[in-house]
Amino acid sequence: MGREVIRTATESDLPEIMRMGRAFLACTDFSHVPFDESAATQLVMGLLNGTGTVIVSDCPAGLNGMVAMVAFPHFFNANVKAAQEFFWWVDAPARGTRIAIRLLNQAEEWAHAQGCSTVHMLALDALNGAQVASMYERRGYVSLERTFMRTL
């Protein structure tokens, strides 16, 4: 670790983004959702073509982390923009390094450049949610709500 470049993803990164997406899904409680590479590719391409961004950590061995963000008018006031994490993943061997922080820094910079006044990030319980929440709080994030899911 340490020679990673944090950059905006390109279409050529799709195979690695799909690999990380499958790994992400396998670690979540979304087992009822099969991975659909076609739909995931369409989503990523939409983000790369202007609805948001995908930021990746690129190291000599390939990509080892990613975060996707979207910007949108705030629900309560369309003149205020907010940014929302769509997905965030760091490969297991790269966890505990500064890659996650570097990805988050770049995501916040992207949100600021989009004119967003807030950034909303997630912490899935199945993926070290308490540890991630603690990191957010150390960075000045506040907990606003909890999300609950029920499989039908």
Q: Which domains does the chain have, with CATH numbers?
A: 5-138 (3.40.630.30)
Predicted TM-score (pTM) of this structure? 0.90
pLDDT digits (tens, 9 = 90+) for 22-50: 999 988 877 788 999 999 999 999 999 98
Element (H, E) at 104: helix 99-113
- Residue 116: which of 83, 70, 68 has the closest Cα? 83
What is the predicted pLDDT for the residue at 1?
Answer: 54
Average pLDDT across the chain, whole number: 90
What is the predicted pLDDT for the residue at 89?
Answer: 93
pLDDT exceeds cutoff 90 at 108: yes
What is the predicted pLDDT for the residue at 21?
Answer: 95
Dihedral sign for Cα 30, 104, 144, 133, please.
Answer: positive
What is the predicted pLDDT for the residue at 145?
Answer: 81
pLDDT exceeds cutoff 70 at 148: yes
